[in-house]
Amino acid sequence: MRAIIIWQGAQACTTKRMRTAFLCVAASLAPFHGAPLPCQTISPVIVEYNGKAEGKFQLTNDGLTPMAVVLEPRSFSVNPEGKGVYRPLDTNIHIDLSTMSFRLEPLQTYIVFYKARADALPAWFTVWATFTPINKVEGMKVRVMLPHTVYLYQKKPITRDAIHIQNAAYLTRANTVVVDLDNLSSSLVRVQEVNIIGGGKDSVQANGFPLLPSSPRHLEIAWKQSSPPSYINLRFPNFDVRQPLSIEDK
């Protein structure tokens, strides 16, 4: 019997700086097929442009099995918890890829070039790269999907008054900071860094994230320090938003 695993690598597969996505199948899967374990990478994972894009990304097959790679651009939205919801590419986004499919030999790297523009800014999309083993082997077949995400920014940057924080609280029983914020504008912006600050030198840092136009975001960040935190600081490209934290017995 052949089992097929499809692995979609996005946030869970990226480095802290969002530069490389990868998948290395755990050794525990080896008994299913006895074939060499695949390991594929894509880099960079996220890129940002002002207006139109002219870029490239590279895909590497570090395994010993040749892979068939198929590229598919898709649009997406992001739910309040930060999970991407994908759909067919929006008709107002135009992408020209140097190839849509190719063969990637063992230990080979392939570079894909592209141009992208949108009828209206901002815009964003992901090019999914699907890796499928070419060799026919009995047992488990692993299909890997890795993302290259592109953000096309508007010319005018977002301003501080476009960011609204609805709720910012420290839940004492859960030892968690909970924050709800909104981007009230029609512009795209990235939260570059999140910092929770307490008394003394206590602090916790969390990764940044894109904040899409007219979109909410819900954050939950663990706080393991002995004293409660005092405030949260959100760093944007041109300003910071600092919000005191209320204390709730939850």
The 3-state secondary structure of 7-36, one letter per residue: EECCHHHECCCCCCEEEECCHHHHHHCCCC
Residue in 116, 145, 165, 156 with CA at minimum distance from that of residue 40: 145
Residue 21 has pLDDT above 70, yes or no: no
Is the model more confident about 91 or about 29?
91
Question: Strand, coil or helix: what is 148?
Answer: strand
Domains of the chain (ranges; CATH) run 3-153 (2.60.40.10), 160-248 (2.60.40)
Give me the mean pLDDT over the 34-47 stretch: 77
pLDDT of the residue at 200: 76
Give dist(CA 205, CA 46) in Å, integer: 20
* pLDDT above 90 (res 83): yes
C-beta of residue 157 within 8 angstroms of C-beta of residue 121: no
More confident residue, 3 or 64: 64
pTM: 0.84
Q: How many CA atoms lie within 13 A of 87 on its CB side?
A: 8
Residue 4 has pLDDT above 70, yes or no: no
pLDDT at 8: 53
Element (H, E) at 192: strand 189-198
Question: Closest Cα partner for 32 from 134, 137, 133?
Answer: 137
Rounded CA-CA distance 157/135 in Å is: 49
